[in-house]
Structure 1
Amino acid sequence: MKKTNLIILLIVLLGGASYMGYLSQLGTSAEAAILTAPSELPDFTLNDINGKATSIHGVAGAKPTLFIYYNSTCHLCQEELGNISKRIEEFKDYNLILTTVQPMEEMIGFADGLGIKDKSNVHFLLDSEMKVASFYQVRSVPSIYVYDGKKQLVAEYVGITKIELLLEKLSAGK
């Protein structure tokens, strides 16, 4: 009986360790996946946080760009963008375009809470007609896309993504 219990315990431990190893790889699995987002940053014109019509290409300029489609009521989005806002100085050489379909008031409230809306490299854009969401076929948020300085797709992720990985991909896109 003790031998059987020991074998079962060993199998459970090995299975658990394997599963934990699998989970630890999820943060980088999108890296190895085939990129399905548009290979070039699309150039939609959306209203910014001040209601001004703004071109995505215009705010991206020639810098590597982190494009994030989010929803402020999504706890994963809150966590991801909260983590980015805490380390915003590390993103100073890159443009961040944060896009949502939510009403303007909600976007402004969320941006105020993050404390990064006045950063010159951070751009909150409103996709009120869901043009960008349809173009990207956004099914889950946060949807994160990294584009290089030539507006070519470098990487894409869904869900919480390690800040170090985002910074590494942005840096590679200089």
Structure 2
Amino acid sequence: MRQLLFLFSLSIAGCMPAPKNLDIKDPKALPPITLFMADTVTKYNIDSLPKGRPTLLVFYGRNCPYCDTMTENIVKHIDTLKDVNVITLSAGEFHYVDVYDKKFELSRYPNIKNGLDYNNMLLAFYGAQGLPFVVFYDKDRQIKRANLGPLSVDSIRYIIDKAPASPIVADKKPV
């Protein structure tokens, strides 16, 4: 039985894609993520974001109630975050990105971009192991903090404005 379990585990591991070799020059800088937008045709490169503004990456998943609640609160209090680039991204399916976009009407907000991280850059770069996974970048596009789990808009605003950069995150090399 052990041999069968071992062979099964080995076959599953063989089906997993090889980790991407990330050629990142500055591990503290915003990674070069390209999103497929909800229309499944348009590509959006994060380098196109307005410069000089903090950036918030929110990695969400299908049927994640914590992700839904957090996104709902962000949209509800969007005036509080109007000076922040908000990127909501998923590594799921195109269909779900479109559903998420329509559910929260994300395309209505000029500072929110929602798309599919089709290269799984966020997972490869940070090794995120839960949802929602939130990464904060300062106005100079340098990592400030990463958080696993939902945050209130007040907490998001505090981290953007007042919290010091986390030395644990800032010194961490990408996976």
TM-score between the two structures when normalised by the length of structure 1: 0.71
Counterpart of 1:103 (choices 93, 103, 106) is 93
Matched with 2:131 is 141
Contact kept? 2:106, 2:113, Cα under 8 Å: no
C-alpha displacement of 1:172: 4.5
Q: Flag the 1:166–1:123 CA change in 2: closer, same or farther, 3 A.
A: same
Hey, which bits of structure 1, 4+ residues long, moved more than 4 A? none
Identity %: 22
TM-score between the two structures when normalised by the length of structure 2: 0.71
- Mapped pair 1:40 → 2:24: no
Contact kept? 1:72, 1:78, Cα under 8 Å: no
Distance in 2 separating the partners of 1:48 and 1:65: 18
* Structure 2 residues without counterparts, runs of 5 or longer: 1-26, 164-175
Distance in 1 separating the partners of 2:62 and 2:109: 19
Q: Flag the 1:48–1:61 CA change in 2: closer, same or farther, 3 A.
A: farther
Q: Let me know the Cα RMSD of the aligned residues.
A: 1.8
Q: Flag the 1:49–1:61 CA change in 2: closer, same or farther, 3 A.
A: farther
Counterpart of 1:62 (choices 46, 49, 52) is 52
* Structure 1 residues without counterparts, runs of 5 or longer: 1-37
Q: Which has the larger radius of gyration?
A: 1
Contact kept? 2:33, 2:117, Cα under 8 Å: no
Counting matched residue pairs gives: 136
Q: Flag the 1:60–1:141 CA change in 2: closer, same or farther, 3 A.
A: farther
